[in-house]
Amino acid sequence: MKFTTILLSSLLTTFINAAPALVETVIITAYTTVVVDQDGIHYTPTQTATLLADASQTYSILPTSEAISLVTPSQTEIQQSQTPSTSSSIPSSSSQPSGSVKSGEGTYYDVSVGATACGTYHANSEYIVALSKDLYDENNIDGNPNNNPLCGKKIKAFYQGKSVEVTVVDRCEGCAYNDLDFSPSAFSQLADQGLGRIDITWQWA
C-alpha cells in the first residue's frame, strides 16, 4: 500500500490524545509524518483515523528522512511541482541601460553628407547619434578621432515615455556636454521632427 504524508498540524493532536493507549514510539521530524502499524503497513489519513480508534493496534511515526525514502517517483514529481520556485530571471546587462542618467537636449541632423568623426558612413534611416565635442574629445586616445573608444557604443535615450537605442558614430560641434544629435529616424522615435529640439535623458546601454 502506498503511504500518504500527513500534515503535522492535523495528525499531531490525534496522536497526543491517543498516545497513552496506542502509540509505542512517536518521532516527529520537520512537518511531515507517516503512520505505520506493527506489521509495517502504511495508512492513508482516512484509514489512520479509523485505526487510531482501535486500541488493539500499536503504531509508530517514522521520521521524515525515512518517510521520504518510501515516496514513489510519481509522488516525488507531484511534491516537486507543488514547491514554489525561488529562482528568478535576471536580465543581461547588455539589454539594460547602465550608469547614471544624464540630462540634455536632443536634436537631429543629416548624417548622410559624408564620413562621421568615427570614420564611418551612414544613412538617415539608421538609429545613430553624435555626442558633444567635449564628451567625445575627452575620450580620444590618440590624434585620430576615428579611434575614439566611444565609437560604436550604445545609448538609450528617453523623452516623454518614449525611448530609442542608438549607436555613437559622430561628434557634434554645437552640442552642450550631455546633448545628443540624432539621425532623423532616431529623433522621430522620440518626437515629431517639427519640434526640432527636445529635453531628453539618456544612459549608456
Q: What is the pLDDT of residue 8?
A: 40
- Exposure of 109 by Cβ count < 10 A (0-12 exposed, 13-18 middle, 19+ buried)? middle
pTM for the model stands at: 0.53
Q: How far apart are CA 192 and CA 162, in angstroms?
A: 12
Position 1 scores a pLDDT of 42
pLDDT digits (tens, 9 = 90+) for 8-17: 444 444 544 5
pLDDT at 157: 98
Alpha helices in 40-181 (DSSP H): 45-51, 64-69, 73-81, 133-137
Would you state the cell numbers that stand for residue 96, as one nine-digit string?
A: 539594460
The CB density around residue 154, as the number of other CB atoms within 10 Å, is: 16
Cα–Cα distance measured from residue 135 to residue 133, given in angstroms and rounded to the nearest whole number? 6
Taking CA atoms, 161 is separated from 17, 99, 185, 190, 199, in Å, by 65, 19, 17, 9, 12
Confidence bin at 99 (pLDDT 50/70/90): confident
Q: Where are the alpha helices (DSSP H) in the chain?
A: 8-22, 45-51, 64-69, 73-81, 133-137, 184-188
Helix (H, G, I), strand (E, B) or coil at 69: helix
Which of 161, 148, 166 lies closest to 204 in space, CA to CA?
166
Instruction: For residue 153, give the nearest of 205, 189, 190, 106 by alpha carbon.
Output: 205
Half-sphere exposure (Cβ direction) of 133: Cα atoms closer than 13 Å: 4
- Calculate the average pLDDT of the chain: 73
| Domains of the chain, each with CATH number or no CATH | 6-76 (no CATH), 97-204 (2.40.40.10)
